[in-house]
Homo-oligomer: A and B are copies of this chain.
Amino acid sequence: MRSYFWVGCLTKFSNVALIAYSEILLKSDAVRKRLEDLLVKQIRLRLKLDGLNFWRIRKEGGRIYILGENPEEICRSVLKVFGVDFSASALETETGQEEIVENSLKLAEKILGENESFAVRARRVGKHPYTSKDLEVKIGSTILKKLGESKSLKVNLENPDKTIFVEAREKKAYIYSKIFRGWGGLPVGSQGRLLIFLGNNVKTALAGWLMMKRGVFPIPFYLNQTNKDEEDFRFAKTLKDYISQPNLKVYVAPFKKILDSIPQNINSNLKTLLIQRLAVKVGCKLANLKKALGIVLGVSLDPKPTQTLRLLSYLEDASTLPIFHPLIGFEKKEIEDLRLKLNFPENLTKKTFFDFSPPENYNGITDEKLKNFEEKIDVEKLVEKIVNEVKVVKI
């Protein structure tokens, strides 16, 4: 069976998925090993989740090599694993110069079209009887000699149509041309957990994604401010794509009853503020229960002068945990660009969930009034009650 497969592979040129990562290549061996192991574990789980066949994952010299049925599909599958800089479907060969040149020529034959320009980029780690420059020159000149005329090829080192990459390592060499870009970052979970406040606005998901990319494991949390159970968890589902797990627990708190229990006849700015603070308190309480080190909001600064910064002061005052605002320095346009780049879904049109937003203004709000009112409605008890009614939905 396998030998049959290998024949198939050679016609497809590549026989291994090469995976590059960089930020976790630390000086400290112990920490580095822990992070590398976490990365490999998540890659393994991701491939299983995607139903891809593979028989070996090998880690060597800052690269991960995966032997499997379809290297290109493996390359695509791992792109959503944070920590992966890029992947490439490569041919693994012996390290002899002749063999490398011969196989590079085969790849060139396969990928270079007529009138195209190309470049060869070689890197070398370990001991070899040639330099990386030697390889580049030898491969480049061989391609020109054998194919240059018939295909009208030219070398272009600045901006080539196609590039042939060669990596000569201690034991094996790798040849590839197509690179799949990952997101980089740190393996999910390596930095602990944070509670992500999700809502109707995609900004909440983008904020969560940014923290996950920095190694955070997400505890997705929604406050349902309606009576209805038709909950659209598209943002939690989108985030789930980036963790290598079959399921993710989403936490949903019933917020409607509580909102209704706040008297209607109070200053509407004060009421808005109370609700925002209540939401933060619920989030903190749940975060503590779930051993999360903080909470993440999708708030950014919109042009309305100082409304939002003041809101964040009030939220901070209500919080017992750090509140992270990864979008705080982003332009409106940068946020939309990020959404498009990630292909994240649009905002929900139904306002099922609670989203943070500043009151119209801060007229009539004093710290004293706020505290008095919070005491009067017994906020701590309300929070307790909401947290007790939180439901868990597996997605």
Enumerate chain A interface residues (CB-CB to B < 8 A).
Answer: 23-24, 26, 28, 31, 34-35, 184-186, 190-192, 194, 207, 210-211, 213-216, 293-294, 300-301, 303-306, 308-310, 312-313, 315-317, 319-329, 331-333
Contact of A329 among B190, B213, B294 (CB under 8 A): B213
Chain B residues, Cβ within 8 Å of A31: 303-305
Is the CB–CB distance between A194 and B309 below 8 Å? yes
Chain B residues, Cβ within 8 Å of A304: 26, 28, 31
Q: How many copies does the complex hold?
A: 2
A331 to B213, CA, bound (A): 8
Chain B residues, Cβ within 8 Å of A324: 325, 328
* A321-B313, A323-B322 known; A303-B213 Cβ under 8 A: no
Most-contacted residue by chain B among A213, A316, A317 (CB, 10 A): A316
Chain B residues, Cβ within 8 Å of A332: 23
The 9 closest A-B pairs by CB, nearest first: A210-B329, A326-B329, A316-B322, A214-B301, A192-B306, A293-B309, A312-B322, A190-B305, A24-B303
Interface of chain A: mostly helix, strand, loop or mixed: loop
Closest chain-B Cβ to A306's Cβ sits at a distance in Å of 4
Contact of A23 among B28, B184, B303 (CB under 8 A): B303
21 contacts between A and B (CB under 8 A): A23-B331, A23-B333, A24-B303, A31-B304, A34-B305, A35-B303, A186-B303, A191-B301, A191-B308, A191-B309, A192-B305, A210-B328, A213-B329, A214-B300, A214-B329, A215-B303, A293-B312, A293-B313, A316-B319, A316-B321, A326-B328
Chain B residues, Cβ within 8 Å of A210: 328-329
A274 to B223, CA, bound (A): 36
* A35-B303, A35-B305, A316-B294 known; A328-B184 Cβ under 8 A: no
Chain B residues, Cβ within 8 Å of A26: 303-304
Closest chain-B Cβ to A159's Cβ sits at a distance in Å of 14
A163 to B333, CA, bound (A): 23
Chain B residues, Cβ within 8 Å of A34: 305
Chain B residues, Cβ within 8 Å of A192: 305-306, 309-310
Is the CB–CB distance between A293 and B310 below 8 Å? yes
Is the CB–CB distance between B313 and A322 below 8 Å? yes
Closest chain-B Cβ to A281's Cβ sits at a distance in Å of 15
A211 to B309, CA, bound (A): 11
Is the CB–CB distance between B331 and A322 below 8 Å? no
Minimal Cβ-Cβ distance residue in B for A194: B309
A185 to B300, CA, bound (A): 12
Chain B residues, Cβ within 8 Å of A214: 300-301, 328-329, 331
Chain B residues, Cβ within 8 Å of A310: 192, 293
A331 to B211, CA, bound (A): 10
Closest chain-B Cβ to A209's Cβ sits at a distance in Å of 8
Closest chain-B Cβ to A207's Cβ sits at a distance in Å of 8
A216 to B303, CA, bound (A): 11
Is the CB–CB distance between A305 and B184 below 8 Å? no
Most-contacted residue by chain B among A31, A303, A313 (CB, 10 A): A303
Chain B residues, Cβ within 8 Å of A194: 309
